[in-house]
Amino acid sequence: MTGYLGIDIGSISTKGVIIDDAGGIIAREYRFTQADPIAAVKGAITALGRQAVGIEVLAAGTTGSARKLIGVMLEADVVKNEITAHAVGTLSIFPDVSTIFEIGGQDSKIIIINEGIVVDYAMNTLCAAGTGAFLSSQAARLGISVEALGELALKSQSPTKIAARCTVFAESDLVHKAQIGHKKEDIAAGLCAAVAANYLGNVGKGKRIKPPIVFQGGVSRNVGVIRAFEAAVGEEIHVNADAHLMGAYGAALLARSAPARRKRFDFAVAGMSFSTKGTECGQCPNGCEIIRFYRNGELLDAWGNRCERGRAVL
């Protein structure tokens, strides 16, 4: 049996899937990156390999903020940005989708699609108030797990209004509301509503949001945020069971469409030693930081130069 590997390496979490020739997911993995994408991908590859015994992986694709680094590590056939990967993955499941909401650990994005083609998008990486990291920190402040936050929010009869302009205002407002006696479930509901409001007011600002709307990313697993979005836009929000893996799924689909590779993917990569070394070029005022990437002590690739002088350092 043959398959195709997709890896999505984000700042907070690393996702991986293996799909079959028909596009069905036969192995899936989700884990925290913990500021070490190489180790996270090694762990994900090992876990995927255990789920896909006997599967011959014909091609691999990477996406996410560390897609270039991991693309070199895995000798990926395809290295694509998150917008492309998420759009491809979503369209394969929801071919009529018009709007994609995506909220990850530290960033979020909106993708506008018209007749199967991406026509507009926006990303927000400046404010954490509309991201999963914000929800995680505030759940901890409330003394509950982030997984339980959404279910708790659904119990609210009178959601607390939380300032959604930025993380600092939201946190101080949450503390104030708790100190004056607001119920924990009401604060939870207010946090979910704040995330939706922040997203629509920043990432979705000026965008024509049309149904069908698909929500994905790690925060899409929070039912409280789903309900908050539905209340805010007045439309049904579609969430697939693998919505948090959609970037990796799109990368796998792109790998399936790539030209045939000369050699198959080897799961033994998880046992190899990888390291990076940064050097400032110093050949001109640009001061480019050159990154060298090694496998078992041998140079695999290098990047970072912005002019020809940097080639001497590479």
For 68-103, write each residue's pLDDT tens digit: 999 999 999 999 999 999 999 999 999 999 999 998
Burial, 118: exposed, middle or buried (Cβ in 10 Å; 0-12, 13-18, 19+)?
Answer: middle
Helices and strands per DSSP (H, E), number in the chain: 9, 13
Average pLDDT, stretch 208-218? Answer: 93
Determine the structural domain holding residue 77 and report its residue range: 2-88+248-271
Judge if 265 and 279 occupy the same domain.
no
Confidence grade of residue 253 (pLDDT, cut at 50, 70, 90): very high
Judge if 172 and 204 occupy the same domain.
yes
Query: What is the DSSP pairing of strand 56-64 with strand 78-79?
Result: parallel
Q: Please name the residue that has the structure tokens 């394969």.
A: 92
Average pLDDT, stretch 25-34? Answer: 94
The SS3 assignment for 20 reads coil
Contact predicate 284/275, CB 8 Å: no
Question: Which tokens is 52 given?
Answer: 């896909």
Confidence grade of residue 179 (pLDDT, cut at 50, 70, 90): confident
Rounded to whole angstroms, the Cα distance separating 292 from 70 reads 13
The dihedral built from the CA positions of residue 110, 30, 22 and 223, taken in this order, carries a sign that is: negative
HSE-up of residue 279 (Cα within 13 Å, Cβ side): 14
Average pLDDT, stretch 276-288? Answer: 83
Judge if 144 and 183 occupy the same domain.
yes
Phi-psi region of 123 (alpha: psi -120 to 50; beta: other; left: phi over 0): beta
Higher-pLDDT residue of 264, 192: 192
Higher-pLDDT residue of 279, 295: 295
Judge if 18 and 136 occupy the same domain.
no
Supply the mean pLDDT for the chain: 89
First to last CA, the chain: 40
Judge if 54 and 78 occupy the same domain.
yes
Q: How many domains does the chain have?
A: 3
Judge if 152 and 190 occupy the same domain.
yes
The CATH number that applies at residue 265 is 3.30.420.40
Q: Judge whether residue 277 has pLDDT over 70.
A: yes
Q: What is the spatial order of strands in the sheet that 274-280 belongs to?
A: 274-280, 289-295, 298-303
Residue 164: predicted pLDDT: 66
Judge if 100 and 231 occupy the same domain.
yes
The radius of gyration computed from the CA coordinates of the chain, to the nearest angstrom, equals: 21
Judge if 176 and 210 occupy the same domain.
yes
Judge if 265 and 154 occupy the same domain.
no
Rounded to whole angstroms, the Cα distance separating 126 from 290 reads 26
Domain boundary among 220, 239, 258: 239
The one-letter amino acid at 281: C
Judge if 107 and 196 occupy the same domain.
yes
Q: Judge whether residue 213 has pLDDT over 90.
A: yes
Q: Cα separations (Å) of 76 from 4, 51, 253? A: 11, 20, 13
Contact predicate 61/77, CB 8 Å: yes
Judge if 72 and 204 occupy the same domain.
no
The SS3 assignment for 256 reads helix
Domain boundary among 239, 256, 286: 239
Residue 98: predicted pLDDT: 97
The dihedral built from the CA positions of residue 294, 252, 25 and 52, taken in this order, carries a sign that is: negative
Higher-pLDDT residue of 171, 253: 253
How distant is the alpha carbon of residue 260 from its chain centre?
A: 27
Average pLDDT, stretch 283-297? Answer: 86
Burial, 134: exposed, middle or buried (Cβ in 10 Å; 0-12, 13-18, 19+)?
Answer: buried
Q: Judge whether residue 261 has pLDDT over 60.
A: yes
Judge if 214 and 140 occupy the same domain.
yes
Average pLDDT, stretch 298-302? Answer: 89
Q: Please name the residue that has the structure tokens 């876990």.
A: 47
